[in-house]
Structure 1
Amino acid sequence: MSIAALRDENERLKALLAQTQAALSEHQGALAASEEARRRLEIILGELRREKFGAKSEKLGPDQYHLPLEDVEIAQGILDAAQERAEAVINGRSRNVPDQGHHRNRGCLPAHLPQVERIIEPASTLCPCGCGAMTKIGEDVSKRLDVIPAQWRVLVTRRPKYICRRCAGPVVQAHAPEHVVPSGLPTEAAIAHVIVSKFGDHTPFYRQSEIYARQGIRLDRATLGNWSGRACFHLQPIADHMRRHLAMADRLFMDETTAPVLDPGRGQTKKGYFWAIASDDRGHSGPSPPIVLFRYAPGRSGAFAEQFLDGFGGRFPAMRCL
């Protein structure tokens, strides 16, 4: 073998050694991730065993069951990723190439979501033999769920002023639109977002304030509360209309549920009650839409129910409080 051939063989062996060392490093990383996931699963199982067989004071509440179960899903994801990386190293294929034998797409994507297509072409579509351009014979299509994070913006409203230069006529300008917070910062869309986050997604004002601060928007909880209160004032006619509609219903369903309420001066919470008053005639082919109205009271006695039902003349198929 010539000296040149020996040099080429030496370079090839060096490249093979570097590739093997890189694969070994990835494999060791996958093993470390698997060990960490196994350790987390053992901790979670220990918590569940303590809940099952431990003392009553150590047992978890019903809402706390979700926390270890979420940790199980996280640990399972770590194991899945580690297994995929290890298989890619062993089989010598790219991690970005999915294994056709595994179906990891759980759930389905809603049809109403907009779709943005991107086409990834090869670096070159010319035949390496010099025959010319290649012919497309098909394509692989994959769909992934993407998100555009909530993006705040500044809505600038300009109202031009016009005047006739030939006469002393009046200045013409469009009227300023009315807002929930006159001369304030928020648009109605911003206030709606705050309200839905508070009452629909159970995100308190102080947490929302921290979330907005990450984008450089300084809004304290008092400001968010004031915005919501103003919106509630303007939404009150809708609630009044719903109550009048419920008063004309043939039948109502009513129940109460507890809710912790801040107790100023005591440094703790007290028990309050949300009363749900509902009407739903869809099961009886009724023409009216379903309505649910919530009322708050400090107790669950029948006096509160009578107060809420003032003016109602229908009947109750089911009612716990009276």
Structure 2
Amino acid sequence: MISAQQLDALDPHTRQAVQSLLVQVQQRDTELAFKQALIDKLTHEMAILKRMKFSATSERFASTLSPEQRSLLEETLDTDIHELDGELQRHRKKSEKKDEDEKQIPKRAQLPAHLPRRDVPHEPTDTSCGCGQAMQRIGEDVSEKLDYQPGVFTVERHVRGKWVCKCCERIVQASVPAHVIDKGIPTTGLLAHVLVAKFMDHLPLYRQEAVFARAGHVIARSTLAEWVGACGAQLQPLVQALADELRRHMVLHADETPVAMLKPGNGKTHKAYIWS
């Protein structure tokens, strides 16, 4: 670290530049320390959740539950684990860059051919080249997203045309539209349906799995848990904004709604509360 005497020996312009760089270094050190603390916290929480799900103690505890209760516990843990995975991927920087050949990317099954398709075209706003020549369409890239209206599955085909100018040999293509889950198959409508059904209508994921199967397309419960966890990670800025807004007030009112909660093992219930 440069000393105060060394700073004083510099000319004013250089001194100002060095001081600005020192401030930036200090800010980045603070940011790195915060992110490392967050990584350590999330890693610890993930280890606890995995221990709860996979350890022998968890197995003994789960054996006292009914199949429905065990399904609720497992899907909640799956959701939390995938949400923490998403948070870690957002904050952890990879120390080594792996080669593309070494990456093991799981192959996703094609969406069923019997589902109705709906094309969503994405074309460039301007297909005229800077040289004055008209561009020609030479192909397209298609990505399919699974959509759901109550009782009916459909597939959105996002078609991105490729346009080329033969004079300039320049290719123009519309950018990939933003999605909640990058390279995922669910549309925002399907994700919203899963979240509303789970948290507003209190429909567990194992029941949604059965509902979707009756509608003609099976979505595994683990996949639904991944989607819920990914949405939870994306909604963290909104959660933080709501928490900041609540902390601005001197007094907060709460509705202590009592509910009967089953105690695993003895078949009895005790009074619990839903805070809102």
- TM-score in terms of structure 1 length: 0.35
Instruction: Specify which structure has the bigger relative contact order, considering alpha-carbon pairs within 8 angstroms and separated by 6 or more residues.
Output: 2
Higher strand share: 2
Larger radius of gyration: 1
